[in-house]
Homo-oligomer: A and B are copies of this chain.
Amino acid sequence: MTDVVALLRAELGERVDTSASALEAARSDKSGHAAAGLPLAVVNAGSVADVQAVMRIATATRTPVVPRGAGTGLAGGANTGGGEISLSLRGMDRILEVRPDDLLAVVEPGILNADLNAQLAPHGVWWAPDPASRAISTVGGNIATGAGGLLCAKYGVVRDAVLGVDLVLADGRLLHLGHRSVKGVTGLDLTSLVIGSEGTLGVVVGATLKLRRAVEGERVTLTALFDGVRAAAVASAAVTASGVQPAIMELMDATSLAAAHRLLGLSAPAPGVAQLTVQTDGPVAADEARAIADVLRAAGGTVAVARDAAEGEQLLAVRRAMHPAMETLGTTLIEDVSVPRSALPDMFDEIARIEERFGLVIPAVAHAGDGNLHPNFVFEGPEVPAVVWEAAEDLFRAALRLGGTLTGEHGIGVLKRRWLADELGDDQWALQRQIARVFDPLGILNPGKVFAD
Protein backbone atom coordinates (compact mmCIF):
# COMPACT_ATOMS: atom_id res chain seq x y z
CA MET A 1 0.00 0.00 0.00
CA THR A 2 1.24 3.47 -0.89
CA ASP A 3 2.10 5.57 2.12
CA VAL A 4 -0.33 8.42 1.50
CA VAL A 5 0.86 10.38 4.50
CA ALA A 6 4.44 10.25 3.26
CA LEU A 7 3.35 11.57 -0.13
CA LEU A 8 1.41 14.38 1.56
CA ARG A 9 4.36 15.27 3.78
CA ALA A 10 6.75 15.31 0.84
CA GLU A 11 4.63 17.94 -0.91
CA LEU A 12 3.04 19.81 1.98
CA GLY A 13 5.49 19.49 4.87
CA GLU A 14 4.23 20.93 8.12
CA ARG A 15 0.78 21.51 6.76
CA VAL A 16 0.21 17.79 7.37
CA ASP A 17 -0.88 17.16 10.96
CA THR A 18 -1.10 13.61 12.28
CA SER A 19 -1.22 14.48 15.98
CA ALA A 20 -3.73 12.44 17.95
CA SER A 21 -5.67 15.53 18.94
CA ALA A 22 -6.00 16.79 15.37
CA LEU A 23 -7.10 13.40 14.07
CA GLU A 24 -9.61 12.99 16.88
CA ALA A 25 -11.05 16.49 16.32
CA ALA A 26 -11.54 15.79 12.61
CA ARG A 27 -13.79 12.81 13.32
CA SER A 28 -16.76 14.92 14.39
CA ASP A 29 -18.64 18.16 13.95
CA LYS A 30 -21.19 20.05 16.09
CA SER A 31 -23.77 17.32 15.53
CA GLY A 32 -22.03 15.35 18.27
CA HIS A 33 -21.67 12.41 15.91
CA ALA A 34 -18.27 10.99 14.94
CA ALA A 35 -16.95 8.94 12.05
CA ALA A 36 -15.64 5.44 12.69
CA GLY A 37 -11.88 5.22 12.95
CA LEU A 38 -9.22 7.91 12.78
CA PRO A 39 -8.34 9.92 9.64
CA LEU A 40 -4.96 9.34 8.00
CA ALA A 41 -4.06 13.01 8.40
CA VAL A 42 -5.37 16.51 8.65
CA VAL A 43 -3.97 18.82 5.96
CA ASN A 44 -4.20 22.52 6.80
CA ALA A 45 -4.28 24.06 3.33
CA GLY A 46 -2.82 27.54 2.98
CA SER A 47 -3.39 28.07 -0.72
CA VAL A 48 -5.23 26.86 -3.79
CA ALA A 49 -2.04 25.08 -4.82
CA ASP A 50 -2.03 23.16 -1.52
CA VAL A 51 -5.57 21.97 -2.19
CA GLN A 52 -4.66 20.94 -5.72
CA ALA A 53 -1.65 19.01 -4.42
CA VAL A 54 -3.79 17.12 -1.91
CA MET A 55 -6.36 16.23 -4.57
CA ARG A 56 -3.71 15.03 -7.02
CA ILE A 57 -2.24 12.72 -4.38
CA ALA A 58 -5.71 11.58 -3.37
CA THR A 59 -6.57 10.75 -6.97
CA ALA A 60 -3.29 8.96 -7.59
CA THR A 61 -3.75 6.85 -4.46
CA ARG A 62 -7.58 6.59 -4.54
CA THR A 63 -7.75 8.12 -1.07
CA PRO A 64 -11.00 9.69 0.13
CA VAL A 65 -10.87 13.40 1.05
CA VAL A 66 -13.28 15.22 3.36
CA PRO A 67 -13.22 19.03 2.98
CA ARG A 68 -13.69 20.90 6.25
CA GLY A 69 -14.26 24.46 7.38
CA ALA A 70 -14.65 25.16 11.09
CA GLY A 71 -16.39 21.86 11.83
CA THR A 72 -19.62 23.49 12.98
CA GLY A 73 -21.91 21.39 10.76
CA LEU A 74 -24.95 19.68 12.26
CA ALA A 75 -25.31 16.72 9.88
CA GLY A 76 -21.89 15.05 10.07
CA GLY A 77 -20.93 16.25 6.59
CA ALA A 78 -17.32 17.04 7.54
CA ASN A 79 -16.75 14.05 9.80
CA THR A 80 -13.61 12.19 8.67
CA GLY A 81 -12.97 8.52 9.41
CA GLY A 82 -10.49 5.72 8.90
CA GLY A 83 -8.50 5.82 5.67
CA GLU A 84 -9.60 9.38 4.84
CA ILE A 85 -7.79 12.73 4.58
CA SER A 86 -9.35 15.70 6.41
CA LEU A 87 -8.69 18.74 4.20
CA SER A 88 -9.05 21.89 6.30
CA LEU A 89 -9.70 25.18 4.51
CA ARG A 90 -9.86 27.11 7.79
CA GLY A 91 -6.42 28.69 7.28
CA MET A 92 -7.42 30.21 3.92
CA ASP A 93 -9.25 33.14 5.44
CA ARG A 94 -8.33 36.22 3.44
CA ILE A 95 -10.65 38.73 1.84
CA LEU A 96 -9.12 39.24 -1.60
CA GLU A 97 -11.30 42.07 -2.86
CA VAL A 98 -14.18 44.26 -1.69
CA ARG A 99 -16.09 46.30 -4.26
CA PRO A 100 -18.84 48.33 -2.60
CA ASP A 101 -19.63 49.95 -5.99
CA ASP A 102 -20.29 46.54 -7.56
CA LEU A 103 -21.69 45.05 -4.34
CA LEU A 104 -19.35 42.09 -4.40
CA ALA A 105 -16.46 40.61 -2.45
CA VAL A 106 -13.99 37.88 -3.37
CA VAL A 107 -12.97 35.75 -0.40
CA GLU A 108 -11.13 32.61 0.56
CA PRO A 109 -13.37 29.90 2.02
CA GLY A 110 -11.97 29.72 5.56
CA ILE A 111 -12.99 33.17 6.75
CA LEU A 112 -15.62 33.13 9.50
CA ASN A 113 -18.99 34.60 8.51
CA ALA A 114 -18.90 37.11 11.39
CA ASP A 115 -15.29 38.12 10.64
CA LEU A 116 -16.23 38.77 7.03
CA ASN A 117 -19.12 40.98 8.06
CA ALA A 118 -17.00 42.83 10.60
CA GLN A 119 -14.52 43.65 7.86
CA LEU A 120 -17.25 44.61 5.39
CA ALA A 121 -19.03 46.97 7.79
CA PRO A 122 -16.70 49.97 7.28
CA HIS A 123 -17.51 49.74 3.55
CA GLY A 124 -21.24 50.07 4.28
CA VAL A 125 -22.02 46.60 2.90
CA TRP A 126 -22.75 43.13 4.32
CA TRP A 127 -23.20 39.50 3.29
CA ALA A 128 -26.73 38.53 4.24
CA PRO A 129 -26.56 34.80 5.15
CA ASP A 130 -26.63 34.66 8.95
CA PRO A 131 -26.68 31.09 10.26
CA ALA A 132 -27.00 30.91 14.05
CA SER A 133 -23.39 29.69 13.91
CA ARG A 134 -22.18 32.84 12.17
CA ALA A 135 -19.59 33.64 14.84
CA ILE A 136 -17.95 30.22 14.45
CA SER A 137 -18.76 28.95 10.94
CA THR A 138 -16.86 29.65 7.72
CA VAL A 139 -18.15 31.15 4.50
CA GLY A 140 -16.94 28.02 2.68
CA GLY A 141 -18.93 25.85 5.06
CA ASN A 142 -21.96 28.11 4.62
CA ILE A 143 -21.64 27.56 0.85
CA ALA A 144 -21.07 23.81 1.15
CA THR A 145 -24.25 23.39 3.21
CA GLY A 146 -26.33 26.08 1.49
CA ALA A 147 -26.78 27.66 4.91
CA GLY A 148 -29.76 29.71 5.98
CA GLY A 149 -30.27 31.66 9.17
CA LEU A 150 -32.67 34.08 10.79
CA LEU A 151 -32.95 36.74 8.08
CA CYS A 152 -33.75 34.50 5.11
CA ALA A 153 -37.38 35.39 4.43
CA LYS A 154 -36.40 39.01 3.90
CA TYR A 155 -32.78 38.77 2.77
CA GLY A 156 -32.40 35.33 1.18
CA VAL A 157 -30.27 32.23 1.67
CA VAL A 158 -26.72 31.44 0.54
CA ARG A 159 -27.96 30.44 -2.92
CA ASP A 160 -29.16 34.04 -3.36
CA ALA A 161 -25.86 35.54 -2.22
CA VAL A 162 -23.10 33.86 -4.25
CA LEU A 163 -22.13 34.93 -7.78
CA GLY A 164 -19.34 32.45 -8.36
CA VAL A 165 -17.08 29.84 -6.78
CA ASP A 166 -13.63 28.55 -7.53
CA LEU A 167 -13.66 24.78 -7.31
CA VAL A 168 -10.84 22.25 -7.20
CA LEU A 169 -12.00 18.98 -8.74
CA ALA A 170 -11.18 15.53 -7.45
CA ASP A 171 -8.24 15.28 -9.86
CA GLY A 172 -6.78 18.64 -8.79
CA ARG A 173 -7.94 20.80 -11.70
CA LEU A 174 -9.18 24.29 -10.79
CA LEU A 175 -12.43 25.62 -12.27
CA HIS A 176 -13.80 29.15 -12.06
CA LEU A 177 -17.59 28.92 -11.95
CA GLY A 178 -20.07 31.78 -12.20
CA HIS A 179 -19.46 35.44 -12.85
CA ARG A 180 -19.00 38.92 -11.36
CA SER A 181 -21.99 40.59 -12.98
CA VAL A 182 -25.53 40.79 -11.59
CA LYS A 183 -26.80 38.85 -14.58
CA GLY A 184 -25.13 35.93 -16.35
CA VAL A 185 -26.58 32.89 -18.13
CA THR A 186 -23.56 31.54 -19.98
CA GLY A 187 -23.96 27.75 -19.90
CA LEU A 188 -25.23 25.68 -16.99
CA ASP A 189 -25.38 27.27 -13.53
CA LEU A 190 -22.71 25.16 -11.84
CA THR A 191 -22.30 27.74 -9.07
CA SER A 192 -25.77 26.89 -7.79
CA LEU A 193 -25.05 23.21 -8.18
CA VAL A 194 -22.02 23.51 -5.89
CA ILE A 195 -23.96 25.46 -3.24
CA GLY A 196 -25.28 22.86 -0.81
CA SER A 197 -23.36 19.98 -2.39
CA GLU A 198 -21.56 19.28 0.91
CA GLY A 199 -18.13 18.58 -0.51
CA THR A 200 -19.28 15.90 -2.94
CA LEU A 201 -18.48 17.82 -6.17
CA GLY A 202 -15.19 19.50 -5.37
CA VAL A 203 -13.37 21.69 -2.88
CA VAL A 204 -14.53 25.33 -2.74
CA VAL A 205 -11.31 27.38 -2.63
CA GLY A 206 -12.75 30.81 -3.30
CA ALA A 207 -16.04 32.62 -3.71
CA THR A 208 -17.39 35.79 -5.28
CA LEU A 209 -20.11 36.95 -2.90
CA LYS A 210 -23.08 39.16 -3.67
CA LEU A 211 -23.29 41.88 -1.03
CA ARG A 212 -26.07 44.17 0.16
CA ARG A 213 -25.95 47.77 1.29
CA ALA A 214 -26.12 48.22 5.04
CA VAL A 215 -29.77 48.67 6.02
CA GLU A 216 -30.49 52.24 7.13
CA GLY A 217 -32.49 53.25 10.16
CA GLU A 218 -33.21 51.84 13.59
CA ARG A 219 -34.23 48.22 14.13
CA VAL A 220 -37.36 47.59 16.18
CA THR A 221 -37.71 44.39 18.20
CA LEU A 222 -40.79 43.01 19.92
CA THR A 223 -41.91 39.82 21.59
CA ALA A 224 -45.33 38.23 21.87
CA LEU A 225 -46.30 35.55 24.35
CA PHE A 226 -48.94 32.94 23.53
CA ASP A 227 -50.70 30.11 25.32
CA GLY A 228 -48.93 27.28 23.59
CA VAL A 229 -46.88 26.81 20.48
CA ARG A 230 -49.80 26.28 18.11
CA ALA A 231 -51.21 29.74 18.88
CA ALA A 232 -47.77 31.25 18.28
CA ALA A 233 -47.43 29.41 14.97
CA VAL A 234 -50.88 30.55 13.83
CA ALA A 235 -49.91 34.12 14.73
CA SER A 236 -46.67 33.92 12.77
CA ALA A 237 -48.53 32.63 9.70
CA ALA A 238 -50.92 35.56 10.12
CA VAL A 239 -47.99 37.99 10.09
CA THR A 240 -46.68 36.47 6.84
CA ALA A 241 -50.15 36.53 5.31
CA SER A 242 -50.59 40.19 6.34
CA GLY A 243 -47.94 41.19 3.83
CA VAL A 244 -45.65 43.00 6.27
CA GLN A 245 -42.16 41.50 5.99
CA PRO A 246 -40.24 41.21 9.26
CA ALA A 247 -36.46 40.88 9.07
CA ILE A 248 -36.53 38.25 11.82
CA MET A 249 -39.44 36.22 13.20
CA GLU A 250 -38.37 33.49 15.61
CA LEU A 251 -40.60 31.08 17.51
CA MET A 252 -39.69 29.24 20.72
CA ASP A 253 -41.95 26.62 22.24
CA ALA A 254 -42.51 26.44 26.01
CA THR A 255 -39.76 23.92 26.76
CA SER A 256 -37.19 25.82 24.72
CA LEU A 257 -38.16 29.15 26.22
CA ALA A 258 -37.95 27.78 29.76
CA ALA A 259 -34.54 26.20 29.12
CA ALA A 260 -33.13 29.41 27.61
CA HIS A 261 -34.45 31.50 30.52
CA ARG A 262 -32.88 29.04 32.97
CA LEU A 263 -29.50 29.20 31.19
CA LEU A 264 -29.52 33.01 31.14
CA GLY A 265 -30.66 33.30 34.79
CA LEU A 266 -33.93 35.01 33.81
CA SER A 267 -37.17 34.47 35.72
CA ALA A 268 -39.10 31.43 34.53
CA PRO A 269 -41.83 32.06 31.95
CA ALA A 270 -45.37 30.98 32.83
CA PRO A 271 -45.86 27.25 32.19
CA GLY A 272 -46.85 26.36 28.63
CA VAL A 273 -46.12 29.82 27.25
CA ALA A 274 -44.52 30.06 23.78
CA GLN A 275 -42.88 33.17 22.37
CA LEU A 276 -42.47 34.93 19.06
CA THR A 277 -39.57 37.38 18.71
CA VAL A 278 -39.89 39.76 15.78
CA GLN A 279 -37.50 42.36 14.43
CA THR A 280 -38.18 44.89 11.66
CA ASP A 281 -35.60 47.04 9.93
CA GLY A 282 -35.27 49.61 7.17
CA PRO A 283 -36.77 53.04 6.64
CA VAL A 284 -40.27 52.09 7.81
CA ALA A 285 -39.25 49.70 10.58
CA ALA A 286 -41.36 51.44 13.24
CA ASP A 287 -44.50 51.40 11.08
CA GLU A 288 -43.96 47.75 10.26
CA ALA A 289 -43.44 46.86 13.92
CA ARG A 290 -46.72 48.57 14.83
CA ALA A 291 -48.58 46.71 12.09
CA ILE A 292 -47.08 43.39 13.20
CA ALA A 293 -47.89 44.10 16.85
CA ASP A 294 -51.53 44.62 15.83
CA VAL A 295 -51.62 41.28 14.00
CA LEU A 296 -50.05 39.50 16.97
CA ARG A 297 -52.47 41.06 19.48
CA ALA A 298 -55.41 40.14 17.27
CA ALA A 299 -54.07 36.59 17.33
CA GLY A 300 -54.14 36.58 21.14
CA GLY A 301 -50.54 37.53 21.85
CA THR A 302 -49.24 39.63 24.74
CA VAL A 303 -46.89 42.05 22.99
CA ALA A 304 -43.90 43.89 24.42
CA VAL A 305 -41.89 46.29 22.26
CA ALA A 306 -38.23 46.87 23.09
CA ARG A 307 -37.52 50.47 24.14
CA ASP A 308 -34.25 50.60 22.23
CA ALA A 309 -31.73 48.57 20.24
CA ALA A 310 -29.95 47.29 23.35
CA GLU A 311 -33.15 45.90 24.82
CA GLY A 312 -33.94 44.43 21.39
CA GLU A 313 -30.64 42.57 21.42
CA GLN A 314 -31.46 41.21 24.92
CA LEU A 315 -34.74 39.84 23.59
CA LEU A 316 -32.97 38.13 20.70
CA ALA A 317 -30.30 36.80 23.05
CA VAL A 318 -32.95 34.50 24.52
CA ARG A 319 -33.43 32.92 21.10
CA ARG A 320 -29.69 32.74 20.50
CA ALA A 321 -29.26 30.87 23.81
CA MET A 322 -31.26 27.94 22.43
CA HIS A 323 -28.37 25.71 21.37
CA PRO A 324 -26.36 26.04 24.61
CA ALA A 325 -29.59 25.64 26.57
CA MET A 326 -30.27 22.34 24.84
CA GLU A 327 -26.73 21.18 25.59
CA THR A 328 -27.50 21.57 29.31
CA LEU A 329 -30.30 19.02 28.92
CA GLY A 330 -28.24 16.20 27.37
CA THR A 331 -27.00 15.09 23.94
CA THR A 332 -29.04 16.67 21.19
CA LEU A 333 -30.07 15.63 17.68
CA ILE A 334 -31.08 18.96 16.11
CA GLU A 335 -33.52 18.45 13.27
CA ASP A 336 -34.14 20.91 10.48
CA VAL A 337 -37.37 20.28 8.57
CA SER A 338 -38.83 23.12 6.53
CA VAL A 339 -42.44 23.55 5.38
CA PRO A 340 -44.46 26.19 3.50
CA ARG A 341 -45.20 28.94 6.01
CA SER A 342 -48.93 28.30 6.14
CA ALA A 343 -48.20 24.73 7.27
CA LEU A 344 -46.28 25.78 10.39
CA PRO A 345 -49.22 25.24 12.82
CA ASP A 346 -49.88 21.78 11.35
CA MET A 347 -46.20 20.90 11.66
CA PHE A 348 -46.26 21.77 15.35
CA ASP A 349 -49.36 19.55 15.71
CA GLU A 350 -47.32 16.76 14.15
CA ILE A 351 -44.50 17.33 16.65
CA ALA A 352 -47.01 17.11 19.52
CA ARG A 353 -48.36 13.86 18.05
CA ILE A 354 -44.85 12.44 17.72
CA GLU A 355 -43.98 13.43 21.29
CA GLU A 356 -47.01 11.55 22.51
CA ARG A 357 -46.52 8.53 20.26
CA PHE A 358 -42.90 7.96 21.28
CA GLY A 359 -43.07 9.30 24.85
CA LEU A 360 -40.47 11.97 24.12
CA VAL A 361 -40.14 15.68 24.83
CA ILE A 362 -39.03 17.47 21.65
CA PRO A 363 -38.23 21.13 22.37
CA ALA A 364 -38.59 23.06 19.15
CA VAL A 365 -37.76 26.47 17.77
CA ALA A 366 -38.57 27.76 14.32
CA HIS A 367 -37.49 30.43 11.91
CA ALA A 368 -41.20 31.19 11.67
CA GLY A 369 -40.74 33.81 8.96
CA ASP A 370 -39.64 31.14 6.51
CA GLY A 371 -41.17 27.90 7.86
CA ASN A 372 -37.93 26.24 8.99
CA LEU A 373 -38.21 24.25 12.27
CA HIS A 374 -35.52 22.91 14.53
CA PRO A 375 -37.04 20.20 16.75
CA ASN A 376 -34.45 18.98 19.25
CA PHE A 377 -34.30 15.34 20.27
CA VAL A 378 -32.53 15.24 23.64
CA PHE A 379 -31.08 12.03 25.03
CA GLU A 380 -28.36 10.61 27.31
CA GLY A 381 -25.00 9.36 26.06
CA PRO A 382 -23.20 9.55 22.71
CA GLU A 383 -25.42 7.24 20.61
CA VAL A 384 -28.77 8.22 19.15
CA PRO A 385 -31.28 5.73 20.63
CA ALA A 386 -33.38 3.74 18.16
CA VAL A 387 -36.58 5.38 19.39
CA VAL A 388 -35.19 8.81 18.51
CA TRP A 389 -34.42 7.70 14.95
CA GLU A 390 -37.93 6.28 14.68
CA ALA A 391 -39.39 9.55 15.91
CA ALA A 392 -37.15 11.53 13.53
CA GLU A 393 -38.32 9.40 10.61
CA ASP A 394 -41.92 10.09 11.59
CA LEU A 395 -41.03 13.80 11.68
CA PHE A 396 -39.46 13.72 8.18
CA ARG A 397 -42.46 11.96 6.67
CA ALA A 398 -44.81 14.46 8.29
CA ALA A 399 -42.81 17.36 6.82
CA LEU A 400 -42.92 15.78 3.35
CA ARG A 401 -46.70 15.25 3.65
CA LEU A 402 -47.10 18.96 4.40
CA GLY A 403 -45.20 19.91 1.24
CA GLY A 404 -41.94 20.39 3.11
CA THR A 405 -38.39 19.15 2.99
CA LEU A 406 -36.01 17.07 5.13
CA THR A 407 -33.53 19.84 5.64
CA GLY A 408 -33.91 23.58 5.30
CA GLU A 409 -30.36 24.66 6.02
CA HIS A 410 -28.20 22.00 7.73
CA GLY A 411 -27.75 19.56 4.87
CA ILE A 412 -27.95 15.79 4.53
CA GLY A 413 -24.45 14.76 5.64
CA VAL A 414 -24.50 11.29 7.15
CA LEU A 415 -27.44 11.83 9.48
CA LYS A 416 -30.18 12.12 6.85
CA ARG A 417 -28.79 10.22 3.88
CA ARG A 418 -31.03 7.24 4.47
CA TRP A 419 -34.10 9.43 3.84
CA LEU A 420 -32.77 11.33 0.84
CA ALA A 421 -34.40 9.08 -1.76
CA ASP A 422 -37.73 9.36 0.10
CA GLU A 423 -37.82 13.03 -0.78
CA LEU A 424 -36.11 13.01 -4.18
CA GLY A 425 -37.61 9.81 -5.54
CA ASP A 426 -35.41 7.00 -6.82
CA ASP A 427 -35.03 8.44 -10.33
CA GLN A 428 -33.84 11.83 -9.14
CA TRP A 429 -31.60 10.25 -6.50
CA ALA A 430 -29.87 8.17 -9.19
CA LEU A 431 -29.55 11.19 -11.50
CA GLN A 432 -27.98 13.30 -8.74
CA ARG A 433 -25.56 10.51 -7.96
CA GLN A 434 -24.54 10.32 -11.62
CA ILE A 435 -23.98 14.08 -11.73
CA ALA A 436 -21.70 13.85 -8.70
CA ARG A 437 -19.77 11.12 -10.51
CA VAL A 438 -19.11 13.49 -13.44
CA PHE A 439 -17.22 15.74 -11.03
CA ASP A 440 -15.66 12.87 -9.10
CA PRO A 441 -15.42 9.70 -11.20
CA LEU A 442 -13.44 7.77 -8.58
CA GLY A 443 -15.81 8.65 -5.74
CA ILE A 444 -13.08 10.04 -3.48
CA LEU A 445 -14.83 13.31 -2.53
CA ASN A 446 -16.60 12.99 0.80
CA PRO A 447 -17.76 9.44 0.11
CA GLY A 448 -20.75 8.16 2.05
CA LYS A 449 -22.05 11.68 2.65
CA VAL A 450 -25.37 12.84 1.15
CA PHE A 451 -25.67 9.73 -1.00
CA ALA A 452 -25.75 6.59 1.12
CA ASP A 453 -23.66 3.79 -0.36
**Complex contact A185–B432 (CB within 8 A):** no
In the assembly, what is the distance between CA of A179 and CA of B157, in Å?
A: 14
CA distance A434 to B435 in the complex (A): 9
Could you tell me if B241 and A185 are in contact, using CB atoms closer than 8 angstroms?
no
A213 within 8 A of B: yes
Near B by CB (< 8 A), chain A positions 190-221 give 190, 192-193, 195-197, 201, 213
Chain B CB within 8 A of A112 CB: no
Flag if A371 contacts B405 (CB, 8 Å): no
> Which of A27-35, A64-72, A250-258, A419-427 faces chain B?
A419-427
- Asked if A408 is at the interface of the complex by the 8 Å CB criterion, the answer is yes
Partner of A146, one of B101, B189, B372, B428: B189
Main secondary structure of the interface of A (DSSP, over half): loop
Assign chain A's interface to a size class: 35 or more
Let me know if A340 and B186 touch, CB within 8 A: no
Q: Are B243 and A213 in contact (CB under 8 A)?
A: yes
Residue A359 at the chain B interface, CB threshold 8 Å: no
Interface string of A396-428 (1 = CB under 8 A from B): 000000011111111110001000100111011
A237 and B179 form a contact (CB under 8 A)? no
Q: Check A408 against B173 for contact (C-beta < 8 Å).
A: no
**Is A240 an interface residue when CB atoms closer than 8 A count as contact?**
yes
Confirm or deny: A41 has a beta carbon within 8 angstroms of a beta carbon on chain B.
no
CA A101 – CA B372 in complex, angstroms?
A: 15
A186 neighbours in B (Cβ, 8 Å): 405-407, 412, 416, 420, 423-424
Residues of B contacting A284 in the complex (Cβ-Cβ under 8 angstroms): 283-284
CB contacts (< 8 Å) of A435 on chain B: these are 188, 190, 435, 438
> With an 8 A cutoff between CB atoms, is A63 at the interface?
no
Q: A182–B427 contact, CB under 8 A?
A: no
Verify A240–B185 contact, CB threshold 8 A.
no
| Nearest chain B residue, comparing its CB with the CB of A367 | B183
Query: Are B372 and A407 in contact, with the CB atoms below 8 A?
Result: no
Most chain-B CB neighbours within 10 Å: which of A173, A197, A338? A338
The answer, among B193, B340, B341, for a CB contact under 8 Å with A188, is B193
CA gap between A322 and B284 in the complex, in Å: 37
Let me know if A340 and B184 touch, CB within 8 A.
Answer: no
Contact between B189 and A196, CB atoms less than 8 A apart: yes
Residue of B nearest to A434 (CB): B438
Pairwise interchain contact B342-A183, C-beta atoms closer than 8 A: no
Tell me, yes or no, whether A124 is within 8 Å of chain B by CB. Answer: yes
A450 neighbours in B (Cβ, 8 Å): 187
Q: Which residues of B contact A190 (CB under 8 A)?
A: 193, 428, 431-432, 435
A45 within 8 A of partner (CB): no
Chain B residues with CB below 8 A from A428, complex form = 175-177, 187, 190
Q: How far is the CB of A110 from chain B (nearest CB, A)?
A: 21
- Chain B residues within an 8 Å CB radius of A15: none
Q: How far is the CB of A62 from chain B (nearest CB, A)?
A: 21
Given contacts A146-B189, A213-B243, contact A153 B182 (CB under 8 A): yes
**Pair A245/B213 contact, Cβ less than 8 Å:** yes
Q: Could you show 14 A-B contacts with beta carbons less than 8 Å apart?
A: A103-B240, A153-B182, A173-B427, A179-B338, A179-B404, A181-B408, A182-B408, A186-B424, A187-B429, A188-B193, A188-B201, A189-B193, A190-B428, A283-B284
Given contacts A99-B340, A181-B338, A187-B423, 19 further A-B contacts (CB under 8 A): A100-B241, A102-B240, A103-B341, A175-B427, A180-B340, A181-B372, A182-B341, A182-B408, A183-B405, A183-B408, A185-B408, A186-B406, A186-B412, A186-B423, A187-B424, A187-B450, A192-B193, A193-B193, A434-B438
The 10 closest A-B pairs by CB, nearest first: A192-B192, A183-B408, A182-B370, A146-B185, A181-B338, A184-B405, A101-B241, A102-B340, A185-B196, A180-B403
